[in-house]
Amino acid sequence: MLAYHYAFIKNELDIGCFVTSISTEFDRVSMHGLRASLLRKQVACLNQSLYEIRMPTMPGMEIYSEVMNQHLQFLKNEGYDYSCYGDIFLEDLRQYREQQLASHNISGIFPIWKRNTKSLISEFIDLGYKTIVVCAKEELSEFCGRVIDHDFIKDLPAAIDPCGEHGEFHTFVFDGPLFSSPVKFSVGEKVIREFPAPKSAQGVGDSVKALGFCYLDLIDE
């Protein structure tokens, strides 16, 4: 959201759409678990259009890359030359994005790259944006469902990045200065789901532990 804020305020980009991958089976945002209906309302409240990339549940990298490449080529053919991301400091993720984009002659833009994450989240709050945690690692389940404010940041364990840049938590932004109106929703149940550890986290001969995540269901009103 803050990356979009900077791109919009500086007026350096003619932003044509938001792009998000959605699970075909569950009709929810991949990883975040957010209902697609709320995503569409969020984008509408930002006076933007949404381009949905439908994905199978937990696709392997081969299938993921194939689907993404098909859509990137379509977007390039539609006249899109740039893709804007909110990444902050994960070098391997940025490199992966830029490599995928380059094969379609699309350039990546990273408005908040290398910014201090504590300063970023404080700025986000002070600007008047509001966001709620909808997914968190199981050990951080007590934070799932909390709206991020300065008290939230104080309560986070010291080892946790305040922007969740290591994937510790994911959020849903529902209000702020660029919104025409707040996104209305009600809070549903919390559930814990386990997923196989990624191959990169599996050592030879090690017993592989599943990764647990806490999800909060937000219900469209």
Q: What are 122-169's pLDDT values in tens digits?
A: 999 999 999 999 999 999 999 999 999 999 999 999 999 999 999 999
pLDDT, one tens digit per residue, over 21-40 is 999 999 999 889 999 999 99
Lowest-confidence region among 11-20, 163-172, 176-185: 11-20
State residue 205's pLDDT score. Answer: 41
Residue 199 confidence (pLDDT) above 60: no
Sequence spans of domains, the chain:
116-221
Tell me what pLDDT residue 209 has.
Answer: 64
Summarised one tens digit per residue, pLDDT across range 41-91 is 999 999 999 999 999 987 888 999 999 999 999 999 999 999 999 999 999
The model carries a pTM of 0.90
Ranges 10-24, 180-194, 202-216: which has the least confidence: 202-216
pLDDT-based confidence at residue 202 (cuts at 50, 70, 90): very low
> Residue 10: which pLDDT band, with cuts at 50, 70 and 90?
confident
Banded pLDDT at 196 (limits 50, 70, 90): confident
pLDDT score for 29: 95
Is 122 in contact with 150 (CB distance < 8 Å)?
yes
